[in-house]
Structure 1
Amino acid sequence: MPVDNVRGETFDEHGIYMNELLKRLKTTDDDGITKDPFIFVEQHMERLVKKYEKTVGKHYAMLRSYGKAILDSNSGSIVKLGVIVNPEDKTYIDRFYVCFTGLVDGWKIWCKKITSLDGCFMKSPYQGEIITTIGRDGNNHIYLVAWAVVNVENKDK
């Protein structure tokens, strides 16, 4: 992750190594004591994570338009967005499913006719689970067919 601006110095090298960054950040205070750059980097990373978490909420708010853009540009694709409206009339995203027609057609033509499900839990303020449907191509590599983001694992849905 590139660091935008640290102590007035701009870093635009995307491949900068941590030890090089620490050398640049290493400072000495008036007493001649060297400050620990690891603490500074850790604090900066915390600020970046907080900034990221704010932008994630904006992207979740745009899921309807993302789904519409997928359907407009990929005819035959499937996008399903499930929402929950609570008693205070606030809308929450419950699930989001995407299946591109090109991926399904490719799976039908080139892959073994076996699919499997896999999932992982998201660790962020917007918790949920990402579930993927995958197949195996002729070289026995993973081939993504469809994916969904769901609120929690639930037998009712």
Structure 2
Amino acid sequence: MIKSMCKEHSCGRDDENKNVTSTWIVKHLASQLKAVPDMKTDAMQAYFMDNFCIKVPYQTCYRAKKKAIENNEGSHSKTYAKLLAYGDLIMEKNPGSVFKLQFYERSVMFDPPVFKRFFICFKTCVDGFLNGCRPFIGVDGCHLKGTFGGVLLVVVTVDGNRGLFPFAYGVIETKCKDNWYFFLNQLYTVLHAGICDNPITFMSDKQKGLCDAITNVFPRSQHR
């Protein structure tokens, strides 16, 4: 028998739930994180507080965001593992193209290969440069923001309409003299038959080791 009832409650409520995992968060925010990959963790925490009255720790939201990005964009490690197959496909579908992939030396024979750097140039891009572009080459790179970092290098020129014409690119671990020599040697191999040592004007931001590499690999070139 109920003798009396108090409608006002003064007892506190625990807004933390240990059953709220990063996997559970991904299921509820999959579509939102796919539409807005850069969603802030503060916004994720506010969403669950407003809709479920649950306080989610920052680290849990951070792990959920990483899982969602991997589900939507794929795994970086699995993508790097497909580079050999990608190179074979390039050579099969684009005869005359150049694909150069290098790994670090393995201390144990049965260890999986570790990516070091690669260079890609499609045959049609080379033909376009030799037949319709000026003898002008711009070389630059930007740092990759993915899990493994690295630097994306690209070679561009100017076509007959004064538009940028990219025709070679690659990925290296860092900007240094050895990597610049690797990249420019591959570029020289691609262009040597067409330019026959004719002078080419290079434009760059004169990164460390780049000027020396250009002078040695393309001795008759100009560098600005």
TM-score (ref. length: structure 1): 0.71
Cross-structure match for 2:145: 123
Higher-strand-fraction structure? 1
| AA aligned opposite 2:117 | R
| AA aligned opposite 2:151 | E
Structure 1 residue 83: Cα displacement: 1.1
Unaligned regions of 5+ residues in structure 1, if any? none
Is residue 70 of structure 1 aligned with residue 94 of structure 2?
Answer: no
Is residue 81 of structure 1 aligned with residue 101 of structure 2?
Answer: yes
SS of residue in 2 equivalent to 1:27: helix
Determine if contact 2:150/2:172 at 8 Å carries over to the other structure.
Answer: yes
Structure 1 residue 43: Cα displacement: 6.6
Structure 1 residue 48: Cα displacement: 1.8
Structure 1 residue 41: Cα displacement: 7.9
- Are residues 57 and 145 of structure 1, via their aligned partners in 2, closer, same or farther at CA, if it must alter by over 3 Å? same
Unaligned regions of 5+ residues in structure 2, if any? 1-25, 183-224
SS of residue in 2 equivalent to 1:79: strand
Aligned residues: 146
Is residue 61 of structure 1 aligned with residue 98 of structure 2?
Answer: no
- Measured on the aligned residues, the alpha-carbon RMSD in Å equals 3.7
TM-score (ref. length: structure 2): 0.52
Is residue 152 of structure 1 aligned with residue 174 of structure 2?
Answer: yes
The whole-number CA distance in structure 2 between the counterparts of 1:115 and 1:43 is: 43
The whole-number CA distance in structure 2 between the counterparts of 1:104 and 1:93 is: 26
The whole-number CA distance in structure 1 between the counterparts of 2:90 and 2:122 is: 8
Structure 1 residue 28: Cα displacement: 5.6
| AA aligned opposite 1:87 | S
Deviations 1:11-61 (A, max 9, x none): 59x878x8xxx9x975263xxxx989xxx9877533323556871111111
Determine if contact 1:27/1:35 at 8 Å carries over to the other structure.
Answer: no
Is residue 27 of structure 1 aligned with residue 51 of structure 2?
Answer: yes
Higher-helix-fraction structure? 2
Cross-structure match for 2:18: none
Deviates more, 1:122-131 or 1:63-72: 122-131
Deviations 1:81-137 (A, max 9, x none): 111123134321111111000011112222222011010111222121111110112
| AA aligned opposite 1:75 | P
The whole-number CA distance in structure 1 between the counterparts of 2:154 and 2:172 is: 11
SS of residue in 2 equivalent to 1:94: strand
SS of residue in 1 equivalent to 2:126: helix
SS of residue in 2 equivalent to 1:139: coil
Determine if contact 1:120/1:131 at 8 Å carries over to the other structure.
Answer: yes
The whole-number CA distance in structure 2 between the counterparts of 1:152 and 1:107 is: 27
Greater Rg over alpha carbons, structure? 2
| AA aligned opposite 2:155 | T
